[in-house]
């Protein structure tokens, strides 16, 4: 199955050091509202190794897609590595799937094509995500299955 066959472009992600500070500034600049959560997957892997982590995330809906702000919270993740090497800014784009099987099929297809899986996390029955390095044109692509988000912990804007 083609990777994008049943996917929608869910979000474009911006990596930041301070989620609430950045959300506050961008809420004013872009006239958007940010909903914020802390995400702590039950199962976490970074570069194929178990590595418990959590992160803070904010979504602002813009048309039919979202902007995402993301910042590391606990543990070690690709977010820490990116901030250390490149600083704040664009991090990845995300394809979302309406069912887990389609997302996992796309994940297997990218592996089969030889793309490197750099981060993977899931909580059974609720969500699963993974990041792949696409060497051409040197970007990260996230694949996401999300049953539903709980109410936000905080809203800014």
pLDDT of residue 135: 83
56 and 40 Cβ atoms separated by less than 8 Å: no
- CA–CA dist 18, 73 (Å, integer): 10
Structure tokens belonging to residue 58: 């904010």
Phi, psi values for residue 108, rounded to 5°: -65, -35
**Which structural domains are found in the chain, ordered by start?**
7-147 (3.10.180.10)
Question: Mean pLDDT across the chain, nearest whole number?
Answer: 94
Q: Is the pLDDT of residue 1 over 60?
A: no
pLDDT tens, position by position, 89-145: 999 999 999 999 999 999 999 999 999 999 999 999 999 999 999 987 888 999 999
34 and 23 Cβ atoms separated by less than 8 Å: yes
- CA–CA dist 149, 59 (Å, integer): 11
């Amino acid at each position: 199955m083609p990777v994008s066959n049943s996917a929608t472009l869910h979000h474009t992600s911006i990596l930041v050091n301070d989620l609430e500070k950045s959300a506050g500034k961008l809420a004013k600049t872009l006239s958007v509202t940010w909903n914020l959560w802390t995400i702590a997957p039950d199962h976490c892997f970074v570069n194929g190794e178990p590595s418990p982590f959590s992160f803070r995330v904010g979504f602002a809906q813009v048309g039919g897609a979202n902007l995402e702000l993301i910042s590391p919270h606990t543990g070690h993740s690709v977010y820490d590595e990116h901030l250390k090497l490149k600083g704040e800014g664009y991090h990845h784009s995300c394809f979302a799937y309406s069912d887990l099987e389609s997302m996992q099929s796309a994940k297997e297809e990218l592996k089969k094509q030889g793309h490197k899986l750099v981060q993977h996390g899931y909580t059974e029955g609720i969500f699963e995500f993974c990041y792949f390095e696409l060497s051409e044109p040197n970007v990260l692509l996230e694949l996401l299955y999300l049953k539903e988000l709980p109410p936000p912990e905080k809203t800014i804007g």
